[in-house]
Amino acid sequence: MVVLSQPPALEHCSLIKTCKPTCVFTGIPVIDLRDPEAKTLIVKACEEYGFFKLINHGVPMEFMTRLEAEALSFFNLPQSDKDKATPFGYGSNKIGPNGDVGWIEYLLVNANPQLTSLKTLSENFCSYAVNDYILAVKRLAFEVVEIMADGLEIEPRNVLSRLLRDEKSDSCFRLNHYPPCPQLQALSGRNLIGFGEHTDPQIISILRSNNTSGLQICLRDRTWVSVPPDQTSFFISVGDALQVMSNGRLRSVRHRVLTDSMKSRVSMIYFGGPPMSEKIVALPCLMAKGEESLYKEFTWWEYKTCAYNSRLGANRLGLFEKTANASL
């Protein structure tokens, strides 16, 4: 267990919600990237859950463990030292500008281009652990969406990956740390909510965490289930942009993170986003003859702005549906 010199904003704990533990879900699709049927299995998982676990992914375990160690070293610094990194992406508790809070501290950086801002934190952190990991995970993201395109029979197969490869791609990388807080949780018998329920707005998210539980997803019947941790694998999530581009065929997954009462959770997430000026619209090749798009056309900048200005748990896509009433 990692003991923080000072947990993030303990004085604001009364604002942080709690949640009862839920059942562990054993039905998460597990897909071997080297399986000849991976393209079919990925599409099926994204249609049914918007989420799957990826194994045999090719990212060296060394990259994961090294970055995790660097992250814990940083998050275990005195709070005054961490606060010095605020201009370079450090934050705690506050999630967005509209009052959402969680039991969390994080580092958020642009994954494209090079992460020069992290050099102020630690030369090793930037030059080795972060860059090696992000480059490997970006390559994995390109491969996953191209295999997905094969399964969807999209031509050309780089329709999605070109957006992530673009030098103006608005992709980002986030390190989340959820410290334990047994005293507060003991009072309620519940887990603190580290990161409240939401969908990711980007095209695709690739998450790796340490071997601590906490991630939960919402199934189609609105049941919340816990995802068993696996520090050797990646968890892939469909984002809102991909839901629109597939005209609702692939669904973004609503998820949240609860804290563990005794162990720290460290998550590393690559969010693959398109360029700011990219128009997000249903791909004609995925629409049947006579089928109409479910969503109005918008640019990624417009949607990102909407997401940033809304509450975390809002139905952001509702504002862009053609037939449904917009609701937050």
Q: Fill in the DSSP letter of residue 291.
A: P
Contact 257, 178 (CB under 8 A): yes
Q: How far apart are CA 34 and CA 57, in angstroms?
A: 8
Phi, psi (deg, nearest 5) at residue 8 = -65, 115
265 has catalytic annotation: yes
Q: How far apart are CA 41 and CA 224, in angstroms?
A: 23
Residues 6+ apart with CB under 8 A from 205: 236, 237, 239, 269, 270, 271, 272
Q: How far apart are CA 31 and CA 105, in angstroms?
A: 31
Contact 216, 257 (CB under 8 A): yes
**Which of these is catalytic: 208, 254, 256, 265?**
265
Q: How far apart are CA 249 and CA 264, in angstroms?
A: 36
According to DSSP, the β-strands at 224-226 and 191-198 are unpaired
Question: Which pair of tokens denotes residue 127?
Answer: 């030059």
Q: Catalytic residues, which ones?
A: 265
